């Protein structure tokens, strides 16, 4: 299913086409941010009738997983040696699908990344509960790393290169408290390093003049691993992940801030117009 009316201009235009849903969406011209979020984006696609190739997984994208996919993965994904060989860090940067690759690509020093929920009050939250803002949790990524091979400062660097820490209401197209940014520290050393990096970026005005960094730095609380379906999503659902990310505005923002030093969460530059159209055809083919 493909519409010849597909609009492929820059990310922030007065009219943006929902490519997957074949639906034009008006944007908020005052904030320059789209008025839709990931759940609406994917939900509209499902309502548009794009079943078959994409339908079943789209339902799971919305949190309606079944079988093993509906179960949370074990703590630390079963990685042994946490507390001895490995340390743990946690970061909230909006969509957790987009945050895992930012740390995975740091190399063998990162033993694993786990998508999950933290910062809330409810026990064992589900994706649907968090997305509905019922639990107070943020989507976050827990990073299991070997400090002998990769420093916590390297994790911080990857984090700051992957988010817009000045956005108060979420991250890019995903709006809501569950998508706001935060760094969760597990010890005093991590807290000091996080505060130091935030102060330096603020002093350097890295993200612009008059744009304060609103990312919170808070003590880590219970981290609840997300359902299996959401783990390593950028690898297990590569086409849909690249499609979503290409429309999210994340990579365009990263490029605008960091230029040649930009770190892309998918290991590539943002998709070109032609690549976006090819991806739509691949994703939406019957």
**Catalytic residue annotation:** 95
Residues 201/33/140/258 CA torsion (nearest 10 deg): -30
Closest CA to 39 of 19, 18, 61, 24: 61
Strands (DSSP E) contained in the chain are: 15-18, 23-28, 33-34, 87-93, 110-118, 138-145, 170-171, 174-175, 181-185, 216-219, 223-225
Tokens of 111: 């033993």
Nearest to 144 by CA among 193, 191, 186: 186
**Count of beta carbons in the 10 Å neighbourhood of residue 166:** 17
∠ at Cα 43 (93, 39), nearest 5°? Answer: 20
Task: Tell me the DSSP string of 62-74.
Answer: TT---GGGGSBPP
How many degrees, rounded to 5, is the angle at CA 43 between CA 239 and CA 98?
45
Cβ neighbours of residue 266 closer than 8 Å, sequence gap 6 or more: 101, 234, 241, 242, 245, 251
Question: Furthest-apart CA pair in the chain: how many Å?
Answer: 57
């Amino acid at each position: 299913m493909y519409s010849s009316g597909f609009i492929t201009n820059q990310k922030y235009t007065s009219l943006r086409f929902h490519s997957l849903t074949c639906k034009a969406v008006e944007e908020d011209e005052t904030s320059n941010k789209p008025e839709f979020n990931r759940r609406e984006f994917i939900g509209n696609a499902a309502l548009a009738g794009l079943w078959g190739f994409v339908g079943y997984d789209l339902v799971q994208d919305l949190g309606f997983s079944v079988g093993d996919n509906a179960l949370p993965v074990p703590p630390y994904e079963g990685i042994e040696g946490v507390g001895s060989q490995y340390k743990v860090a946690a970061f909230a940067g909006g969509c957790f699908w987009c945050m895992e690759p930012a740390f995975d690509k740091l190399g063998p020093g990162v033993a694993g990344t786990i998508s999950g929920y933290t910062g809330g009050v409810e026990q064992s939250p589900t994706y649907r509960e968090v997305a509905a803002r019922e639990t107070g949790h943020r989507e976050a990524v827990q990073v299991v790393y070997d400090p002998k091979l990769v420093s916590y400062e390297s994790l911080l660097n990857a984090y700051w290169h992957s988010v817009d820490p000045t956005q108060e209401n979420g991250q890019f197209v995903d709006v809501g408290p569950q998508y706001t940014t935060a760094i969760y520290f597990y010890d005093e050393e991590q807290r000091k390093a996080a505060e130091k990096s935030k102060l330096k970026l603020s002093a350097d005005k890295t993200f612009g003049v008059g744009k304060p960094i609103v990312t919170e730095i808070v003590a880590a609380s219970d981290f609840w691993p997300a359902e299996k379906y959401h783990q390593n999503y950028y690898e297990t659902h590569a086409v849909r992940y690249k499609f979503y990310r290409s429309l999210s505005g994340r990579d365009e923002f990263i490029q605008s801030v960091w230029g040649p030093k930009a770190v892309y969460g998918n290991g590539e530059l943002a998709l070109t117009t032609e690549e976006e159209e090819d991806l739509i055809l691949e994703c939406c083919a019957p």
